[in-house]
Structure 1
């Protein structure tokens, strides 16, 4: 009877089961980070929900720039010993200079680029300001600054543009300044500029970090109006007048040497014209993820809309827009069906014959092509500017009533009762070394799979397929009246106490985004998941492997989405294959290595700059998800299949590590504590990663009964690695030397990897754990999205729930300020802000909330280890723990009431809560119920 009572306690109430997991708004999206994301792992869409025009911006996971090519630099290994010697001698800058010249990876288009660039520059710079501003050019207005590049200025002619662009404006010179030199302050510019005042060149510079402040001699100035003309040269990525991140005023003039605050602003009515948009393709270390196109629905019905509502139901993965116009209620539903690989959009109205529109496809890619496929289908074909990939999308319409007319440009629909659009997309990508796919056939085949299935059948199939993943988990942290507010208003008013349900929604939204962006058959979730509208996305929207890619998958196992890891393991296996070449060419080592970034083509060589690009433990980190997957699932077939990847990653470090002559420890050199402190010997994070790799690989070999000699070698070498050290400030040292600055608030907390996600530092060593905690305190609580998410997980591992909640509150703060500024937090659609948008914070935040409720890294099930006081009552069902356990928890007044544990593998189970610990044997498939005192019911 007591056992039955506990089971009843764990069953959610009807109110809990019906808690609304919806994002909703009372107006259409005004910008991309207002729009609502849908996706099936291969095709993703952002739904704007406009009234006069609706927009669905869409992506396909394999549309990238670049091509299959060599990434490793032949012969780089011959410089390895020199780099090590320079670092050992304390000559960091010399080591970085040598590495920059000889050790970085191969860039695409690097051969002959200097000559091509010089010839092009000579051509475009032959034009001076007098010619540029002479009559005959079509100037267009542009709002300055463009902080994220002119590509984001909502000007179609500037989307994805590289080349030479002229800008002009003016300022009025005060009479009191006559005869004085003045300073023209322009802030930062991407990439190079030649700046003129009244036709006279007054300055030129290059580099986006340089703040342009040019002296304008008095002789160049005129009484009254003065003309400013700037030729901006942008070779690749983003371009434009981007301002500065400081208080110094920009786009002003002031007397030379005077207080910059005593300035005259430049005329805000800037204009531009494009001189040349065809520079030679610039060298690039890695490729960039690309947008595909836009579906636009232009509606014939005019008039004011009332009762507007736009929502995303994450229990069903369906977006919906409804409103009333001229007495008719219109409804649209959108979803991305995974079994058929199609985005579906259905339009209905309360009155027959009310749906009239033009449906168009367009793309930011230059020279995209539209064509009519048949009486109901339009095709879009795109080709990336820099690379070999091309894509084809098909848009088909089915109607009830009305008239359908197709041209090569659009689908015209008149007076239909209802209409359903089916969008499919494909590329010629087959694998990282094969681009022989036929996108025309693939897009058509997906339409054939949709076939004549009814909308109701497709929707039912979609919801069933999605809920097989999503419904495995439920969380309830309480409720309040704020749940009645639109989501953007909830974010503005958020506090943990005022809106506990927003935290539960945020946690579930992270799971939704992972399902939508990482499904079997698609690519792994990148820096933006599967969503991107820019031809020049920040950081290429690639896979950054010194934290961000791994963070994307932190929630996968613990939040019951193990199936979503399949694309990640595909990436890991391919990177391991490609990384063997890099290991040989750069380190003359066996095994495989991956540095701090990879892309669709599985580049593994060091990129960008030697002071942060030479970081050798990306491959080591990517073996952790393999081991974690085995710990959570006990899938021996999976482990047997993936063990060679772990073994070869460990083999690389057996060859790479060297003995430090001062200490006798094995150290990693050259390397980097990610993006902090430059090229060094012996960063702490490396040693934590390698130690865990050696231990996990030895454990995997033991579990499989393989490689006894290797097990012993790895165990011995793990013990010889440089240990974690406590420094003079009580901190965990980030480097081999005790040189940490306690006032340093750098966004990376790399040396705390051993606390989370690793297990190199645990409660078994309270001295080291305290040192790690001290380091985290010194770094501070501020940060952008992913950095906050990492700190959230760390505070959970420190079992400090209230501090973890402080970080979570920052993660859920508004990212957009009233003046257009951005910071870490969330956008209106709950996307994480780095800024700009980066999805890792969403995933890391969801994982951190799970860590607050359950931890299992030490071999025990630690229940509610970091429960904050602001979550006094709650319930969670479907948490996963190592040992292949599924855990349901319920607590009230901050105390555990009951726990139900299902054993999926029949392992011994150890449970700990409130200073108590129980251990019991389990049988596979059996459930075990304990009360708050850990007594069986």
Structure 2
């Protein structure tokens, strides 16, 4: 995977360096000629904190709302502090080629306490809510003569437009990089032809009230202990500028006879905020957003977004399929990629767009869902998988000129160190810190609940590789000094936890797994091994980076010398394969 990472960086770097012509903004769009039929077809908008995904429905439209910080669960200590007593036996079984018995022992005594990622205290990234708009039209015919919805990547702006019974309806959506609210502009080409109702809901744990022409939705998620977890709030309101009237019911806002309407949505959580006052900020953002003209807000939004997006340009030409809808382009590209040279460039820029939209400095890094989720039980908890997914979300950032978007990951990793030190002692009797294969915003570092995947050793080392990338590109000594204790702590763990392979004499991890890989041994299906190549490569890269960092900072001469000696004893790439072959059949 490290080879793949470097190749990705090289390719993106070549594109950035070789191709100087900007791609036309009208090419940088996803567009479709019908409403989304499933959530995955909706258009993702985000400003690093807030997310919206409109489906473009004609009679009823659902806009899924998200906040990057909304998590259930809470901090926990799931370390088994007796686990290290079983470590010598586990290693002896691996050395003896009894991987299946070692795996059984790990499942009994060397995984996390409790249900792990399957438990309520682990938590889950969740949908904040649904904004539902129901439209009313004078005719019963709801088949439009034209329809288009698109996402303009260079402007972070989504639109839906269609003509129905001679009236053209247009919708614009932004999650503002200005005032930090969501805004939807609704217009009709015929005066007074805009009629709709507005409501907020979510699948569970919510209550809505209508007051002063605002809809407020509040709730509290389950923390896995007493049920009193993170609090959240969303509030929506409508502003009319050229006619129409607003009325209310117990749960809805009603708009009738309008020509242009602006829907404002403000939302937030009490993550790292006072549980008693976070809602004041939500309400103030709504008030500020509504006090500005939409034109002013839109200009500010685009300008702030483009400060990041416009740093990188690529043009690979077009092709005869470039004018088609995005879904048709994708289908045809697999058959004849030469007919759409612009699609790979669009794909690259879409990745950059998603990164800009799903994280911001000072908040959380993108999770498995970025910041978009439409369920309370998000697949795989919408958490942070450290065996490739976190890395994939960050590989391109430096080469694609989005360097500062690596900083939220560094903040997340800082939050793992304290518990990771407990985990290192509990399981390996080692110094330093470790995180295994999964984590959450609550700082979980323990092995997962199953030996088959949860014992992977490479998570913390691979995170450190991502942190190092930011320094490698920026040469920012202040940043290096800030992250050096994290890198050193990870290197301390691997230095202490490595054992000598009696067959090859190389230093290797044991026990561990190669993520999502298994093999047959003694006629059994097993995962646990010693010295998987991924661990060898990541440990080598980590030690090399810490050596360079200590030299650059002028610190830890003795530790640096120790790592240099250990580095000589690590399996080289070809030797890594040999170790795996010897021990795993």
Fold shared per TM-score above 0.5: yes
Match of 1:410 among 252, 270, 284: 252
Q: Output the CA distance in 1 between the equivalents of 2:221 and 2:362.
A: 22
Answering whether residue 563 of structure 2 is matched by residue 714 of structure 1, we say yes
Q: Output the CA distance in 2 between the equivalents of 1:477 and 1:399.
A: 44
Instruction: Give the aligned partner of residue 571 of structure 1.
Output: 412
Task: Tell me the SS of whatever aligns to 1:482.
Answer: coil
Q: Output the CA distance in 2 between the equivalents of 1:482 and 1:438.
A: 52
Answering whether residue 540 of structure 2 is matched by residue 698 of structure 1, we say no
Q: Report if the CA contact (8 A) 2:175-2:181 is conserved.
A: yes
Q: Which has the higher contact order (CA 8 A, sep 6+)?
A: 2
Q: How big is each residue's C-alpha offset from its partner over 1:837-859, in whole Å with a ceiling of 9 and x where there is no partner?
A: xxxxxxxxxxxxxxxxxxxxxxx
Instruction: Give the aligned partner of residue 59 of structure 2.
Output: 52
Task: Tell me the SS of whatever aligns to 1:557.
Answer: coil
Match of 2:450 among 598, 609, 631: 609
Q: Report if the CA contact (8 A) 1:683-1:736 is conserved.
A: no
Q: Output the CA distance in 1 between the equivalents of 2:250 and 2:570.
A: 65
Instruction: Give the aligned partner of residue 423 of structure 1.
Output: 265
Q: Report if the CA contact (8 A) 2:529-2:583 is conserved.
A: no
Instruction: Give the aligned partner of residue 114 of structure 2.
Output: 107
Q: Output the CA distance in 2 between the equivalents of 1:320 and 1:687.
A: 49
Alignment CA distance shift 1:75-1:392 (3 Å): same
Q: Report if the CA contact (8 A) 1:518-1:565 is conserved.
A: no
> Which residues of 2 match residues 575-724 of structure 1 at below 5 A?
575-677=416-518, 678-724=527-573
Q: Output the CA distance in 1 between the equivalents of 2:102 and 2:583.
A: 21
Alignment CA distance shift 1:704-1:307 (3 Å): same
Q: Report if the CA contact (8 A) 2:73-2:222 is conserved.
A: no
Alignment CA distance shift 1:349-1:45 (3 Å): same
Q: How big is each residue's C-alpha offset from its partner over 1:100-146, in whole Å with a ceiling of 9 and x where there is no partner?
A: 111111236x9xxxxxxxxxxxxxxxxxxxxxxxxxxxxxxxxxxxx
Task: Tell me the SS of whatever aligns to 1:345.
Answer: strand
**TM-score, scaled relative to structure 1:** 0.57
Q: Output the CA distance in 2 between the equivalents of 1:640 and 1:591.
A: 17
Q: Report if the CA contact (8 A) 2:206-2:217 is conserved.
A: yes
> Which residues of 2 match residues 519-538 of structure 1 at below 5 A?
519-538=360-379
Q: Output the CA distance in 1 between the equivalents of 2:543 and 2:414.
A: 18
Q: Report if the CA contact (8 A) 1:41-1:515 is conserved.
A: yes
Deviation at 1:578, TM superposition (A): 2.5
Instruction: Give the aligned partner of residue 12 of structure 1.
Output: 21
Answering whether residue 443 of structure 2 is matched by residue 443 of structure 1, we say no
Q: Report if the CA contact (8 A) 1:361-1:370 is conserved.
A: yes
Q: Report if the CA contact (8 A) 2:178-2:297 is conserved.
A: no
Instruction: Give the aligned partner of residue 184 of structure 2.
Output: 345
Instruction: Give the aligned partner of residue 368 of structure 1.
Output: 206
Task: Tell me the SS of whatever aligns to 1:737.
Answer: helix
Alignment CA distance shift 1:284-1:360 (3 Å): closer
Q: Output the CA distance in 1 between the equivalents of 2:121 and 2:59.
A: 43
Q: Output the CA distance in 2 between the equivalents of 1:642 and 1:96.
A: 35
Match of 1:306 among 145, 157, 162: 145
Q: Report if the CA contact (8 A) 2:80-2:111 is conserved.
A: yes
Q: Report if the CA contact (8 A) 1:496-1:503 is conserved.
A: no
Q: How big is each residue's C-alpha offset from its partner over 1:14-54, in whole Å with a ceiling of 9 and x where there is no partner?
A: xx445511111111111111111001111111110111111
Alignment CA distance shift 1:558-1:437 (3 Å): farther
Q: Output the CA distance in 2 between the equivalents of 1:17 and 1:609.
A: 50
Alignment CA distance shift 1:545-1:89 (3 Å): same
Answering whether residue 302 of structure 2 is matched by residue 463 of structure 1, we say yes
Task: Tell me the SS of whatever aligns to 1:71.
Answer: coil
> Which residues of 2 match residues 780-929 of structure 1 at below 5 A?
none
Deviation at 1:386, TM superposition (A): 5.6
Deviation at 1:75, TM superposition (A): 2.2
Answering whether residue 555 of structure 2 is matched by residue 735 of structure 1, we say no
Task: Tell me the SS of whatever aligns to 2:291.
Answer: coil
Q: Output the CA distance in 2 between the equivalents of 1:292 and 1:554.
A: 28
Instruction: Give the aligned partner of residue 295 of structure 1.
Output: 131
Q: Output the CA distance in 1 between the equivalents of 2:276 and 2:574.
A: 52
Alignment CA distance shift 1:710-1:736 (3 Å): farther
Deviation at 1:534, TM superposition (A): 1.9
Q: Using the TM superposition, name which of 718-727 and 633-642 deviates more.
A: 718-727
Q: Output the CA distance in 1 between the equivalents of 2:562 and 2:415.
A: 27
Over the aligned positions, Cα root-mean-square deviation in angstroms equals 2.1
Q: Output the CA distance in 2 between the equivalents of 1:564 and 1:698.
A: 25
Deviation at 1:345, TM superposition (A): 0.7
Deviation at 1:352, TM superposition (A): 1.9
**Larger Rg computed on CA atoms:** 1
Alignment CA distance shift 1:500-1:703 (3 Å): same
Deviation at 1:340, TM superposition (A): 2.2
Answering whether residue 569 of structure 2 is matched by residue 725 of structure 1, we say no
Q: Output the CA distance in 1 between the equivalents of 2:19 and 2:341.
A: 20
Q: Output the CA distance in 1 between the equivalents of 2:177 and 2:266.
A: 11
Deviation at 1:443, TM superposition (A): 1.9
Alignment CA distance shift 1:596-1:461 (3 Å): same
Alignment CA distance shift 1:734-1:342 (3 Å): farther
Deviation at 1:577, TM superposition (A): 2.8
Q: Report if the CA contact (8 A) 1:107-1:286 is conserved.
A: no
Deviation at 1:439, TM superposition (A): 4.0
Alignment CA distance shift 1:43-1:11 (3 Å): closer
Instruction: Give the aligned partner of residue 480 of structure 1.
Output: 319
Deviation at 1:69, TM superposition (A): 1.6
Deviation at 1:92, TM superposition (A): 1.4
Alignment CA distance shift 1:389-1:505 (3 Å): same
Q: How big is each residue's C-alpha offset from its partner over 1:862-892, in whole Å with a ceiling of 9 and x where there is no partner?
A: xxxxxxxxxxxxxxxxxxxxxxxxxxxxxxx
Aligned residues: 550
Question: Which 5+ residue runs of structure 2 have no aligned equivalent?
Answer: 1-17, 519-526
Task: Tell me the SS of whatever aligns to 1:379.
Answer: strand
Q: Output the CA distance in 1 between the equivalents of 2:80 and 2:268.
A: 32
> Which residues of 2 match residues 512-551 of structure 1 at below 5 A?
512-551=353-392
> Which residues of 2 match residues 363-402 of structure 1 at below 5 A?
363-365=202-204, 367-375=205-213, 377-385=214-222, 387=224, 388-400=229-241, 401-402=243-244
Flag the structure with higher helix content: 2
Instruction: Give the aligned partner of residue 23 of structure 1.
Output: 30
Deviation at 1:399, TM superposition (A): 1.0
Q: Output the CA distance in 2 between the equivalents of 1:664 and 1:363.
A: 58
Question: Which 5+ residue runs of structure 1 have no aligned equivalent?
Answer: 1-8, 111-236, 238-281, 741-937
Q: Output the CA distance in 1 between the equivalents of 2:438 and 2:280.
A: 33
Q: Report if the CA contact (8 A) 1:614-1:671 is conserved.
A: yes
Q: Output the CA distance in 2 between the equivalents of 1:48 and 1:689.
A: 42
Alignment CA distance shift 1:735-1:286 (3 Å): farther
**TM-score, scaled relative to structure 2:** 0.90
Q: How big is each residue's C-alpha offset from its partner over 1:469-496, in whole Å with a ceiling of 9 and x where there is no partner?
A: 0000111111112111111111111132
